[in-house]
A and B are shown apart, each in its own frame.
Chain A
Amino acid sequence: MTDTKNHSDGDRSGSLEGRRFLPASPSELVEAIELAFDYRGDVTIELTSGERLEGYVFNRNTGGPAPAVELFPTVDPGVRHILYSDIRSIAFTGEDTATGRSWEAWVAKKDSERRAEIERIAADAKARGHL
């Protein structure tokens, strides 16, 4: 249904999962935010106030006088707007949902592994009432 079969590179070693960035300059901060925006998993943002926010960074506005990140928090349904200037660190704490999910990686799997994966996904969809 989508045209993005080869979108992820499937390379586990290149994933940012588990890393934490403590930017030392505005350009490093911008770089870390871009990585968080591209990341297919949740991150934890620590603010200069000491607050920690865990969620999915789905947008960022770099232009204008007050650049900000938009995040869907893991635990509440709203959107959080976070000014770049309020960010102290960004940690890639959530599972990288794109890693290892390429078409090539799937084809390269052993038949038994593929079967197990298919069963696991089907069970999950059934439990949600989607099958």
Chain B
Amino acid sequence: MAVPVSQMLTVTKYVLMQRLKGVARYPLVLMLEPLFRCNLACAGCGKIQYPDHVLDKRLTPEQCWAAAEECGAPIVSIPGGEPLIHPEIAKIVEGLVAQQRYVYLCTNAILLERKLDEYKPSKFLTFSIHMDGLRDEHDLAVCRDGVYDVAVKAIKAALKRGHRVTTNTTLFDDANPERVRKFFDEMMALGVEGMMISPGYSYQKAPDQQHFLKRARTRELFTRILSKPKAGWQFNQSPLFLDFLMGRREYHCTPWGNPTYNVFGWQKPCYLLQEGYAKTFRELMETTAWDEYGSTKNEKCADCMVHCGYEASAVQDTFGTVSGFSRTVKLTLLPTSR
């Protein structure tokens, strides 16, 4: 099983409580970006494209803890930039763990082995390692040779110390399905707990009529990758989200499921689109025009099938429909039945 039972129960209890309370919009994962600076410069990465004085800004530990309390999501994912550059990131993580939140610290792993001493293994802490494929593909994706080997070494070191480790992979439509399947084998052979995958986001500012073709291509790609899964593969995400990527379920985006907080404030409406910022989580929830987003509603969203918008939709399906629930149970117990 990719996720510990305690984490599954926490999330299940949280979702059921929100539903019982009649809360229509509730967050599942807080995307906490404590800084935008990175020690890589992957081509086109939208997160590092700021002037130096903005890249030098960082959230304080107190701001991070307050954001998590304010939003209340049971899971906190910490992307960036590269969070391990933040001088107080271990303290930030410790405080979030003390709040009993399940923390996914997303890193390119360049600094991980050097910093491992600063972290105590805990069921609440997972290192989520950015791996975009086998050595050639990954090094090309991050625009630097040797990063794959550094990351593999860091994964082994973290696992040896008893840490939870997952990988997170972004795939674009040039991915080779056979190589991706081989990559899954290699990651599982390293001993990682599970893998997270998502299609890349190819929003172009100008609308074009190829959008639907792009979505169709994404479905075709993920069908080729995920059909006939191998017995050892574990995915650290909702099985229904994988169904969605393969075109087997249709979802509308749930952007409030993964709210983003960073040095600018609470980002409207999601991790990918910047339409403005709110000062508080409550203001974000109350002032964002949520109904204006999603693939059928907004040209900026037309191609998007990214986990931060649709994973929460899959979770809602699990808890909100009989077919979603039974399919989740089936795929959780029998992942190779896909």
A residues whose Cβ falls under 8 Å from a Cβ of B: 1-10, 37, 40-42, 55-56, 58-61, 70, 72, 74-75, 94-95, 97-98, 101-103, 105-107, 114, 117-118, 121-122, 125, 130-131
Contacts and interface: CB of A to CB of B under 8 A. Distances in A.
B51 A59 contact: no
Contacts of B46: 2, 4, 7-8, 98
Interface string B125-148: 000001000000000010111000
A97 B46 CA distance: 10
Interface string B40-60: 111111110111011001000
Contacts of B51: 41-42, 56, 74, 94-95, 97
Given A1-B106, A130-B37, A130-B85, A105 B201 contact: no
Given A59-B277, A103-B43, A131-B39, A6 B80 contact: no
Contact of B144 (A58, A97, A118): A118
B45 A5 contact: yes
A6 B49 contact: no
Given A105-B43, A106-B44, A59 B82 contact: no
Nearest to A10: B44
B90 interface: no
Contacts of B96: none
Nearest to A55: B53
Given A3-B306, A5-B200, A103-B172, 17 more contacts: A1-B80, A2-B79, A3-B170, A3-B198, A3-B200, A3-B307, A5-B42, A5-B45, A40-B50, A56-B53, A56-B54, A59-B276, A101-B45, A101-B49, A107-B43, A122-B144, A131-B111
A107 B265 CA distance: 34
Contact of A74 (B53, B130, B202, B276): B53
B47 A2 contact: yes
Nearest to A102: B44
Given A3-B200, A118-B143, A56 B50 contact: yes
Contacts of A122: 144
A130 B170 contact: no
A4 B144 CA distance: 18
Q: List the 4 shortest-distance A-B pairs measured between CB atoms, nearest first.
A: A4-B46, A106-B43, A7-B46, A130-B39
Contacts of B53: 42, 55-56, 72, 74-75
8 contacts: A1-B38, A5-B44, A6-B203, A7-B49, A8-B49, A56-B54, A117-B41, A130-B39
A103 B50 contact: no
Contact of A130 (B44, B82, B265, B277): B82
Which of A1, A101, A107 gathers the greatest number of chain B CB atoms within 10 Å? A1
B205 interface: yes
A58 B170 contact: no
A83 to B, nearest CB: 17
Given A1-B106, A3-B272, A121-B41, A9 B50 contact: no
Contact of B43 (A9, A74, A102): A102
A131 B38 CA distance: 10
Contacts of A102: 43-44
Nearest to A40: B49
B252 to A, nearest CB: 19
Contacts of A70: 277
Nearest to B85: A130
Nearest to A125: B39
A9 B204 contact: yes
B212 interface: no
A24 B300 CA distance: 29
Interface in B169-208: 170, 172, 198-205
A115 B69 CA distance: 44
B215 to A, nearest CB: 15
B276 A6 contact: no
Contacts of B141: 5
Which of A37, A41, A122, A125 gathers the greatest number of chain B CB atoms within 10 Å? A125
Nearest to B205: A9
